[in-house]
């Protein structure tokens, strides 16, 4: 048996949970575009708001850009309308999109998206009201799941505002069952852990249920457009190691979600944007942009469409990476085991004084097996760095990272 397959088998035997959700979806982390971080709940579409309010024109324009500007080819497939598409009241028991901003209706918008080869995602809430006070799914799970299926929705993010913590263990699985009953495969994103005191770990005891009922779940705080926000989210993740419940819960069909990418926004420098994209890829996180694809810089495009970094994110082994050295300091090393025995490594310098520092990784310290003699490739520089034995030392500028892929060196390369 191949070593990676053997490790996978060992791991699956060790998993405490019986079975994961098997709707056949999200076998690699979903990729796409979502309204929330950039467009929030802007509902005023007159004057200057016309370009950035939540309406069908915004979604159609982004769908055009996604299909035509290389995003779909790179793997970005879902286009998701977050909160604020619906009216505050139901009509005949059904959810209703705001008729001023979505005059063609959701089914027609879904068709527009599908015609471009993209997938249609949207948002709801497990409570009576969404986070912005609009209509939630509570008490209407079956009708609402059916409404989404009728509109040919492919992905639903279900938020947890205005719901009691203790009811979530009943309601998130129940909404998942209602989705299943429609017969339409719909990716199910649960915000449940973001509302629990320990984020579903430890005594919260909901990690197991997440894996059984959800394709992905928002673990922690919402991201906002600043490096501080990225740092606070990565500081929540850096404490995890290979045996951690949260790391082990990720796999094909079920993923942890640290929230959207800020790349193409206003808050991150180019090196910080690379760092977020590298870390999210190593975390096996969903890659959802929330930017303006009608007006995006070449630097941001190059980061987001970097095929070699995306390949790490989409690696078929589906293991989540974690911090392996220097996790409480400024010089951190993160690693993720990949299919075929390759390893993705991030050398991150969180310092901000001076030019940079050298960081060394002795590969024997990795908590999984890798090659003793290996070749290393720099994924942002798109350069092979050479053949190495036992360890790798790299110079990393402040506020920056370098992302490396380690793979087996051929005998011929070793001889040279
Ligand atoms: C909407 O925006 C326009 C121009 O940007 C402004 O004049 C108007 O007062 C706004 N309407 C509301 C309801 O806030
Ligand atoms: C419904 O659940 C069953 C059992 O887990 C699964 O085989 C099937 O694919 C699911 N269907 C949909 C549409 O999610
Ligand atoms: C992972 O971390 C936990 C607690 O932080 C610790 O008890 C455990 O030994 C660590 N496991 C590994 C493999 O490092």
Band the pLDDT of 48: cuts 50, 70, 90: confident
Band the pLDDT of 18: cuts 50, 70, 90: low
Q: Which long-range contacts (CB under 8 A, 24 or more apart) does 227-231 make?
A: 227/267, 227/268, 227/269, 227/272, 227/399, 229/262, 229/267, 230/262, 230/268, 230/272, 230/275, 230/276, 230/279, 231/350
- What is the domain range of residue 341? 322-415
Overall average pLDDT of the 264-269 stretch? 98
The confidence score (pLDDT) of residue 416 equals 65
The answer to whether the CB of 367 is under 6 A from ligand 3 is yes
The C-alpha atoms of residue 106 and residue 93 are separated, in whole angstroms, by 17
391 and 291 in one domain? no
110 and 9 in one domain? yes
End position of a domain, from candidates 313, 342, 358: 313
Distance in Å, CA 242 to ligand 3 centroid: 8
**Which whole-number Å values give the CA distances from 164 to 65, 167, 340, 360, in the listed order?**
40, 5, 44, 47
Distance in Å, CA 49 to ligand 1 centroid: 8
The C-alpha atoms of residue 176 and residue 188 are separated, in whole angstroms, by 7
376 and 305 in one domain? no
Q: Please give the distance of CA 216 from its chain centroid, rounded to a whole number.
A: 8
Residue 126 contacts residue 115 (beta carbons within 8 Å): no
270 and 348 in one domain? no
399 and 338 in one domain? yes
Band the pLDDT of 13: cuts 50, 70, 90: very low
For the CA of 21, the closest atom of ligand 2 is 5
The answer to whether the CB of 242 is under 6 A from ligand 3 is yes
Distance in Å, CA 202 to ligand 3 centroid: 14
What is the full DSSP assignment across 45-100?
-SGGGGGTSSSHHHHHHHHHHHHHSSHHHHT--EEE--SSSB-SS-BTTB--B-TT
CATH number of the domain encompassing residue 100: 3.20.20.70
State both tokens at 84: 């604020």
Band the pLDDT of 64: cuts 50, 70, 90: very high
The C-alpha atoms of residue 406 and residue 389 are separated, in whole angstroms, by 11
307 and 196 in one domain? yes
Band the pLDDT of 7: cuts 50, 70, 90: very low
99 and 243 in one domain? yes
356 and 209 in one domain? no
The C-alpha atoms of residue 284 and residue 336 are separated, in whole angstroms, by 9
**Residues marked as catalytic:** 159, 222
Whether residue 9 has pLDDT greater than 80: no
End position of a domain, from candidates 261, 281, 313: 313
298 and 327 in one domain? no
The confidence score (pLDDT) of residue 163 equals 98
Phi, psi (deg, nearest 5) at residue 387 = -105, 135
End position of a domain, from candidates 252, 283, 313: 313
Residue 42, class by beta-carbon neighbours within 10 Å (0-12 exposed, 13-18 middle, 19+ buried)? middle
CATH number of the domain encompassing residue 375: 2.60.40.1180
Band the pLDDT of 49: cuts 50, 70, 90: confident
For the CA of 49, the closest atom of ligand 1 is 5
Give the N- to C-terminal CA distance of the chain in Å, as an integer.
30
Give me the percent of the chain exceeding a pLDDT of 70: 95
The C-alpha atoms of residue 321 and residue 103 are separated, in whole angstroms, by 44
Whether residue 3 has pLDDT greater than 50: no
Q: Which residues contact 42 (CB under 8 A, 6 or more apart)?
A: 49, 52, 53, 54, 84
Q: Which ligand is nearest to the CA of 176?
A: 2
Print the SS3 string covering 116-157. Answer: CCCEEEEEEECCCECCCCCECCCCCHHHHHHHHHHCCCCEEE
Q: Could you give the number of structural domains in the chain?
A: 2
Distance in Å, CA 390 to ligand 1 centroid: 63
What residues does ligand 1 touch, defined as CB less than 6 Å away?
Answer: 44, 46-49
CB atoms near residue 371 (< 10 Å) = 16
Overall average pLDDT of the 182-199 stretch? 98
For the CA of 185, the closest atom of ligand 2 is 13
21: left (phi over 0), alpha (psi -120 to 50) or beta: beta
260: left (phi over 0), alpha (psi -120 to 50) or beta: beta
Report which protein residue has its CA nearest ligand 3's atom 1: 241
Whether residue 19 has pLDDT greater than 90: no
Q: Which ligand is nearest to the CA of 21?
A: 2
The confidence score (pLDDT) of residue 1 equals 38
232 and 132 in one domain? yes
Kindly give the pairing relationship between strand 31-34 and strand 287-289: parallel
Residue among 14, 236, 243 to mutate when testing ligand 3 (max atoms within 8 A of CB): 243
292 and 374 in one domain? no
Overall average pLDDT of the 100-121 stretch? 98
Q: What is the CA radius of gyration of the chain?
A: 22
Residue among 22, 26, 176 to mutate when testing ligand 2 (max atoms within 8 A of CB): 22
The C-alpha atoms of residue 313 and residue 280 are separated, in whole angstroms, by 8
Distance in Å, CA 286 to ligand 3 centroid: 26
Report which protein residue has its CA nearest ligand 2's atom 1: 180
Overall average pLDDT of the 9-30 stretch? 74
Distance in Å, CA 267 to ligand 2 centroid: 41
Whether residue 8 has pLDDT greater than 80: no
Please tell me whether residue 107 adopts helix, strand or coil conformation: helix
The C-alpha atoms of residue 266 and residue 72 are separated, in whole angstroms, by 23
The C-alpha atoms of residue 308 and residue 384 are separated, in whole angstroms, by 12
Whether residue 12 has pLDDT greater than 50: no
Please tell me whether residue 394 adopts helix, strand or coil conformation: strand
Band the pLDDT of 16: cuts 50, 70, 90: low
Residue among 241, 245, 368 to mutate when testing ligand 3 (max atoms within 8 A of CB): 241
190 and 42 in one domain? yes
The answer to whether the CB of 241 is under 6 A from ligand 3 is yes
Overall average pLDDT of the 339-360 stretch? 97
Overall average pLDDT of the 358-383 stretch? 96
């Amino acid at each position: 048996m191949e070593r990676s397959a053997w490790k996978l088998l060992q791991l699956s035997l060790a998993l405490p949970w019986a079975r994961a959700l098997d709707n056949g979806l999200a076998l690699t982390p979903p990729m796409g575009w979502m309204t929330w971080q950039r467009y929030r709940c802007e509902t005023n579409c007159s004057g200057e708001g016309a370009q950035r309010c939540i309406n069908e024109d915004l979604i159609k324009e982004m769908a055009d850009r996604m299909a035509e500007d290389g995003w779909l080819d790179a793997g970005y497939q879902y286009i998701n309308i977050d909160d604020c598409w619906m009216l505050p009241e139901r009509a005949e028991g059904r959810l209703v999109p705001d008729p001023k901003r979505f005059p063609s209706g959701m089914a027609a918008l879904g068709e527009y998206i599908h015609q471009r080869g993209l997938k249609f995602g949207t948002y709801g809430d497990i409570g009576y009201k969404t986070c912005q006070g609009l209509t939630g799914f509570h008490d209407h799970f079956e009708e609402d799941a059916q409404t989404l299926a009728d509109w040919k929705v492919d992905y639903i993010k279900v938020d947890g505002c205005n719901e009691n913590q203790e009811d979530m263990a009943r309601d998130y699985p129940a909404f998942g069952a209602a989705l299943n009953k429609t017969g339409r495969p719909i990716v199910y994103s649960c915000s449940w852990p973001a509302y629990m005191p320990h984020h579903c770990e430890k005594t919260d005891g909901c990690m197991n249920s997440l894996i059984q009922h959800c394709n992905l779940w928002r673990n922690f705080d919402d991201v906002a457009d600043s490096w501080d926000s990225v740092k606070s989210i990565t500081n929540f993740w850096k404490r995890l190691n290979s045996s951690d419940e949260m790391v082990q819960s990720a796999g094909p069909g079920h993923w942890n979600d640290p929230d959207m990418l800020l790349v193409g926004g206003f808050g991150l420098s180019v090196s910080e944007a690379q760092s977020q994209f590298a870390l999210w890829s190593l975390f096996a996180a969903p890659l959802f942009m929330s930017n303006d694809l009608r007006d995006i810089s070449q630097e941001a495009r190059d980061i987001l469409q970097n095929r070699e970094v995306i390949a790490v994110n989409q690696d078929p082994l589906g293991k989540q990476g974690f911090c392996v050295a220097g996790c409480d300091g400024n010089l951190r090393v993160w690693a993720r085991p990949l299919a075929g025995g390759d390893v993705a490594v991030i050398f991150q310098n969180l310092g901000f004084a001076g030019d940079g520092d050298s960081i060394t990784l002795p590969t024997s310290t990795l908590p999984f097996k890798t090659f003793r003699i290996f070749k290393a490739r720099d994924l942002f520089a798109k350069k092979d760095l050479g053949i190495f034995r036992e360890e790798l030392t790299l110079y990393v500028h402040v506020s920056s990272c370098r992302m490396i892929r380690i793979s087996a060196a051929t005998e011929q390369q070793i001889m040279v």
